[in-house]
């Protein structure tokens, strides 16, 4: 690949030779300190060393992205966000040999500092819990449990990139801590099939040595389906477990119990330790009738938790800032059932989350009951329906779900369309229908659109646009706000439900997970209200190392942190040092780029001709002739004045000067800061 050419560039050979000694020192160092973990949030010398220990790792993962897109000719490159004085930046790259960055003399000192910062002690007799992800965001849930010689990983999610990470597909948890302790990992346990719990699997499993993966049947099918998109990854060691079953993992025994969520086969995990049990509830809500837990829930939780032997409880915070109880999902399904039955106006189009699998099953069954046909639009929804059908969880006739092309064969009042995109996602089915760009579904005045979802914070504008578009085409729109009956319920316990759970479980220690910091704090508040001592609660960040010490009597946060910087999936690449790329992208999006190509005559110290300028996204060049003329003048002056007496030519120095002078001038004239990239060629 082009981006890796620099590895093989003979120009770097000397640097590598310079480096061998340093690398040796580092390796010795790392071996001495088995617990040593290096930071991963910036290009780090030590990273190279510690990854060198895992040679087998290289071939099996996608190549790590070269964060700066460094071209081969260092002297012809300059980016404002690049490293100017030290030449092109050499980011952390697992497939590349260690490279010189700061000069060898300074490195040992630097290592010492980093060790002080990142040395992580052995667990000893303590129970260690580390949420590597999912505690500073909704998504990328992953929690590490460690006791003596065993590590159990609970969930492995991801989340999508957003406006802060332009062009990034996914963000996955930083698993450096686990990569350094591969041999201790006994299992990955997945609580349920939502992407914020399974999304990271294809990217992470090989990195951590592909340990066995335990989960229930439907989740296993969802994981397998997703794995089909990664044909080159090593096969997973998937083990299907039953609800209420137990397994032995290393020295530990683990029980599973089922929880109520929006997807079948959701479960919680109970790990037995000599000091007490550690319980992770996964994602859950409490089935209820008007805020009173159902008899089944009462019975089940009493059976599982009445001994009050839970030492630590980890609990979902997603809806912890909402008071009361969720509407019962049964009631939601009943209401939608009656809407499906009574809708005679025309087609009924239901937008919901593809993750609302239980509700989708219910809607399809309702449609069949009333002799209606279902059209499914949206890939994730189609996939999920195919999976539940395969698992035998969807019991309807073969001709209830029809192809969109066959819709014309039935009167509109007999058609129910299930569509993704209730959050206004740009490319989802419902958005395309609203925008008039859907191939098969054109919205008309007899259509009723039911948005069976709440609005995820941050999506307000997009949902507004979706509703505007649909309304413009004449559709009748029913949302959870305008509907007189409940047409949506969250899958995450609200405060009332959390209280109910905490009073049942009565844990000694409490750790809120799954949510942004504010949600975690809200969950902490609930726990305190339920009588859990404030000093027994830890509100973690991603990478916080929590330990239960003194034979299970004390909970503490270690000073050290597990690496938790962002790891991004960008096309085919995975990397953890792409902040510089992201910064460049943001800058390009804001003010565009400005490339200068200058040919200089080395002997005479003059420009061969007027410099070429290429610009995108900055100003319209054809209407900016005066600006260009002045800029060319500045370039010429800067180069020619500074080349006087310069031998040999210091290209980096010239580039820096050109960049500074041109950037300053462009900012004065336009109040914009395009990325200035000078290319200076000596002839
Ligand atoms: Zn979930
Ligand atoms: Zn979740």
| DSSP state string for 328-375 | PHHHHHHHHHHHHHH--SS-EEEE--TT-HHHHHHHHHHHHHTT-EEE
Q: From the CA of 174, how far away is ligand 1's center (Å)?
A: 20
Q: How far is the CA of 190 from the centre of ligand 1 (A)?
A: 11
pLDDT digits (tens, 9 = 90+) for 278-306: 999 999 999 999 999 999 999 999 999 99
Ligand 1 center to residue 7 CA distance, Å?
A: 42
Gap between the Cα atoms of 440 and 405, Å rounded: 7
Three-state DSSP state, 183? helix
In angstroms, the CA 208 to CA 61 distance is 11
CA of 14 to the centre of ligand 1 (A): 52
Question: How far does residue 197's CA lie from ligand 2's centre (Å)?
Answer: 6
The distance in angstroms from the start CA to the end CA of the chain is 29
| Three-state secondary structure string covering 482-532 | CCCCCCCCCCCCCHHHHHHHHHHHCCCEEEEECECHHHHHHHHHHHHHCCC
Task: Report the distance separating Cα 144 and Cα 126, nearest Å.
Answer: 14
Q: How confident is the model at residue 111 (pLDDT cuts 50, 70, 90)?
A: low
Task: Write out the DSSP string of 276-290.
Answer: EEEEE--S-B--EET
Estimate to the nearest angstrom the gap between the alpha carbon of 32 and the chain centroid: 34
Distance 137 CA to ligand 2 centre (A): 11
473-526 pLDDT, tens digit each:
999 999 988 999 999 999 999 999 999 999 999 999 999 999 999 999 999 999
281 alpha carbon to ligand 2 midpoint, in Å?
Answer: 11
* 50 CA to centre of ligand 1 in angstroms: 35
SS3 label, residue 428: coil
Return the percentage of the chain with pLDDT > 70, whole number: 82
Q: What share of the chain is helix, strand, coil (3-state, %, to 5)?
A: 35, 20, 40
Give me the pLDDT at residue 579, please: 74
CA of 533 to the centre of ligand 2 (A): 26
Ligand index nearest the alpha carbon of residue 353: 1
The span from the CA of 566 to the CA of 571, in Å, is 16
Using the Cα atoms of residue 532, residue 294, residue 492 and residue 355 in order, give the sign of their dihedral.
Answer: positive
Contact 92, 77 (CB under 8 A): no
Q: What pLDDT does 46 receive? A: 30
Which residue ranges form the domains of the chain, and what is each CATH number? 2-119 (no CATH), 127-325+491-570 (3.60.15.10), 329-478 (3.40.50.10710), 592-682 (3.10.20.580)
The bound ligand whose nearest atom lies closest to the alpha carbon of 514 is 2
Q: What single-letter DSSP state applies at residue 458?
A: T
pLDDT of residue 118: 61
Ligand number, closest to the Cα atom of 318: 2
Q: Is the peptide bond between 648 and the residue preceding it cis, with omega within 30 degrees of 0?
A: yes
CA 594 to chain centroid: 32
Alpha-helical regions (H) of 507-622: 517-529, 579-591
- H helices of 33-183, in order, are 45-52, 57-60, 107-118, 176-179
More confident residue, 560 or 10: 560
Higher pLDDT among residues 20 and 204, named by residue: 204
Say how many Å lie between the CA of residue 515 and the centre of ligand 2. 9
Distance 605 CA to ligand 1 centre (A): 66
- Phi, psi (deg, nearest 5) at residue 36: -60, 135
Query: What is the band of 577 on the pLDDT scale with cuts at 50, 70, 90?
Result: low
% of the chain with per-residue pLDDT over 90: 72
Residue of higher predicted confidence among 36 and 600: 600
Q: What's the CA gap between 558 and 545, in Å, rounded?
A: 6
pLDDT tens string 586-618? 889 899 999 999 999 988 889 999 999 999 999
Task: In whole angstroms, give the CA distance from residue 192 to residue 154.
Answer: 10
Distance 220 CA to ligand 1 centre (A): 15
Query: How far away, in angstroms, is 389 Cα from ligand 1 center?
Result: 20
Rounded distance from Cα 262 to ligand 1 centre (Å): 7
Task: Say how many Å lie between the CA of residue 191 and the centre of ligand 2.
Answer: 9
From the CA of 197, the nearest ligand is: 2
- Burial pattern 167-190, b for ≥16 Cβ within 10 A else e, equals ebebbbbbbbbbbbbeebbbbbbb
**Which residue blocks in 186-313 are alpha helix, DSSP H?**
195-198, 201-204, 217-227, 295-305
User: Angle, to 10 degrees, between the axis of helix 495-505 and the axis of helix 295-305?
Assistant: 40
Ligand 2 centroid to Cα of residue 321, in Å, is 16
Tell me the C-alpha distance between 614 and 629, whole Å. Answer: 13
CA of 543 to the centre of ligand 1 (A): 21
Ligand number nearest to the C-alpha of 316:
2
Ligand nearest to the CA of 141: 2
Task: Kindly state the average pLDDT of the residues 55-83.
Answer: 32
Cα(615) to centroid of ligand 2, in Å? 44
């Amino acid at each position: 690949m082009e981006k890796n050419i620099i590895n093989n560039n003979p120009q770097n050979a000397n640097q590598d030779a310079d480096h061998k000694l340093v690398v040796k020192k580092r390796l010795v160092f790392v071996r001495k300190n088995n617990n040593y973990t290096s930071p991963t949030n910036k290009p780090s010398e030590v990273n190279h060393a510690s990854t060198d220990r895992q040679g087998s790792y290289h071939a099996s993962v996608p190549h790590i992205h070269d964060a700066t897109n460094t071209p081969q000719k260092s002297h012809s490159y300059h980016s404002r966000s690049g490293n100017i004085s030290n030449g092109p930046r050499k980011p952390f790259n697992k497939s590349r040999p260690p490279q010189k960055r700061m000069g060898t003399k300074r490195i040992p000192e630097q290592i010492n500092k980093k060790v002080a910062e990142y040395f992580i002690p052995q667990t000893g007799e303590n129970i260690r819990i580390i949420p590597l992800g999912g505690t500073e965001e909704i998504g990328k849930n992953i929690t590490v449990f460690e006791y003596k010689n065993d590590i159990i990983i609970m969930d492995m999610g991801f989340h999508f990139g957003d406006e802060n990470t332009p062009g990034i597909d996914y963000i996955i948890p930083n698993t450096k801590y686990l990569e350094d302790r591969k041999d201790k990992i006994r299992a990955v346990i997945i609580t349920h099939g939502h992407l914020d719990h399974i999304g990271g699997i294809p990217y992470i499993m090989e990195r951590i040595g592909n340990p066995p993966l335990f989960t229930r049947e439907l989740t296993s099918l969802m994981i397998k389906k997703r794995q089909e998109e990664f044909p080159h990854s090593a096969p997973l060691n998937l083990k299907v477990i039953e609800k209420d079953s137990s397994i032995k993992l290393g020295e530990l025994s683990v029980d599973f119990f089922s929880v109520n969520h929006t997807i079948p086969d959701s479960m919680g995990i109970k790990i037995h330790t000599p000091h007490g049990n550690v319980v992770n509830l996964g994602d859950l809500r409490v089935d209820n009738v008007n805020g009173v837990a159902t008899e089944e829930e009462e019975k089940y939780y009493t059976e599982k938790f009445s001994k009050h032997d839970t030492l630590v409880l980890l609990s979902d915070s997603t809806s912890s800032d909402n008071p009361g109880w969720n509407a019962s999902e049964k009631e939601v399904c009943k209401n939608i059932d009656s809407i499906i039955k009574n809708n005679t106006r025309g087609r009924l189009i239901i937008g919901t989350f593809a993750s609302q699998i239980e509700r989708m099953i219910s809607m399809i069954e309702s449609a069949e009951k009333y002799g209606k046909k279902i059209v499914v639009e949206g890939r994730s929804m189609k996939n999920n329906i195919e999976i539940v059908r395969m698992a035998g969880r969807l019991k309807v006739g073969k001709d209830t779900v029809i192809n969109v092309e066959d819709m014309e064969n039935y009167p509109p009042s007999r058609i129910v369309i299930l569509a993704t995109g209730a959050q206004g996602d740009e490319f989802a089915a419902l958005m395309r229908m609203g925008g008039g760009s859907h191939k098969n579904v054109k919205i008309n005045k007899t259509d009723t659109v039911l948005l069976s979802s709440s609005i995820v914070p941050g999506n307000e504008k997009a949902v507004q646009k979706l509703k505007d578009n649909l309304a413009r085409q004449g559709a009748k729109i029913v949302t959870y706000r305008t509907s007189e009956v409940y047409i949506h319920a969250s899958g995450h316990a609200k405060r009332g439900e959390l209280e109910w759970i905490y009073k049942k479980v009565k844990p000694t220690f409490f750790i809120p997970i799954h949510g942004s910091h504010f949600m975690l704090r809200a969950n902490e508040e609930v726990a305190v209200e339920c009588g859990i001592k404030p000093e027994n609660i830890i509100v973690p960040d991603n990478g916080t190392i929590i330990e239960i010490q003194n034979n299970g009597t004390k909970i503490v946060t270690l000073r050290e942190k597990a690496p938790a910087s962002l790891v991004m999936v960008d096309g085919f690449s995975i990397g953890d040092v792409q902040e510089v790329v992201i910064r460049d992208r943001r800058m390009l999006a804001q003010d565009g780029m400005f490339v200068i190509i200058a040919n200089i005559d080395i002997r005479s110290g003059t420009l061969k001709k007027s410099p070429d300028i290429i610009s995108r996204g900055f100003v319209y060049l054809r209407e900016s002739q005066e600006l260009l003329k002045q800029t060319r003048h500045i370039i010429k002056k800067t180069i020619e004045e500074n080349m006087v007496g310069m031998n040999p030519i210091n290209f980096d120095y010239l580039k820096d000067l050109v960049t500074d002078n041109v950037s300053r001038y462009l900012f004065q004239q336009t109040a914009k800061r395009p990325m200035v990239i000078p290319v200076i060629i000596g002839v």
